[in-house]
Structure 1
Amino acid sequence: MEINYNLDNLDDVAEQIIKNLKTKTLLFYGNMGAGKTTLIKALIKALGSDDEVSSPTFSIVNEYVLKNDKVFHFDLYRIKDIEEAYNFGIEDYLDSGHWNLIEWPDVIEELLPDHFDTVSIDLRESNNRQLVLK
């Protein structure tokens, strides 16, 4: 699925993504500043959380509460190797059955479940973005 969007219709984009997901594990790809965290904020809101969503750049993972579930939002940009991921218990999160939204997932590739969805974001002209959901 491919979507062209801007920040004005981000909530609609989040709803479209959720309707087309096959799993509760989403991997986010895109350059720095492409809008991964901004999209994740809209997704968490669309999933029904009233929590204030912020980037987990320094905490590595943030947890958000849904009515009958949880969302774990990871920013693995600062993780240097898979050993660091093991040190904070990444496998427990991945095996939890809850939502896992992972920015910069390359470092934990070998730990990923067999099935996941990918979201690739490419920044275009005039702050428009192209998103590909696989």
Structure 2
Amino acid sequence: MKLLVNSVEQTFDIGKQIGEKVSPGDIICLEGDLGTGKTHLTKGIASGLSIDEHITSPTFNIVNEYNEGRLKLYHFDVYRVYDPDEIAAIGFDEYIFSNGVSVIEWANYIDELIPPSALYIKISKDLSKGENFREIKFQYSDTRYDYIKEITL
């Protein structure tokens, strides 16, 4: 499934709809170039989880934890991870196999650590339509993510 958005607000809204439907243990892998909207989508997911904290990309921390919502949110940014052992050392498995929701920006950098049951969301610019257009593609094999079919713009 894919959606075409043309604003930050639409990207946020898609994330919010996802956040309202996620379950404990969901793993959401975000892929896309710099500036495509991965963090905006994550902010929407946090909003859908009723997390009021300011969401920032954990580029230098690797993971930010948000504990005050419907479910805990673990927001990873592995852009600067050069060795999968580095992320394993912070207890990655304990986060992703917990009762929280894990959102992993740049997940393609650590593919070998991602369980096959994850939801993949790829965001890419569609400059043929205009500067602000993004194509958001969803891919998953686990039926737990069938809620994606209900997302609307």
> 2:26 aligns to what?
24
TM value normalised by structure 2: 0.78
Report the structure, 1 or 2, having the larger strand content: 1
Summarize deviations over 1:58-79 as a string: whole Å, max 9, x none: 1110011244420000000000
Q: Give the fraction of aligned pairs with identical amino acids, expressed as a percent.
A: 32
TM value normalised by structure 1: 0.88
Deviation of residue 20 (structure 1)? Answer: 7.2
Query: Aligned residues, how many?
Result: 134
Q: Which amino acid aligns with 1:126?
A: E
RMSD between aligned residues: 2.0
- Give SS of 2:111's match: helix
* Higher RCO, 1 vs 2 (CA within 8 Å, ≥6 residues apart): 1
| The 10-residue stretch of structure 1 (43-52 or 105-114) with the greater mean CA deviation from structure 2 | 105-114
Contact 1:122-1:131 at 8 Å conserved across structures: yes
Summarize deviations over 1:66-93 as a string: whole Å, max 9, x none: 4442000000000001110122111111
Question: Closer, same or farther in 2 for the Cα pair 1:109/1:10, shift >3 Å?
Answer: closer
Tell me, in whole angstroms, the C-alpha distance in 1 between the residues paired with 2:136 and 2:101.
Answer: 20
Question: Closer, same or farther in 2 for the Cα pair 1:80/1:123, shift >3 Å?
Answer: same
Structure 2, unmatched stretches of 5+, are 140-153
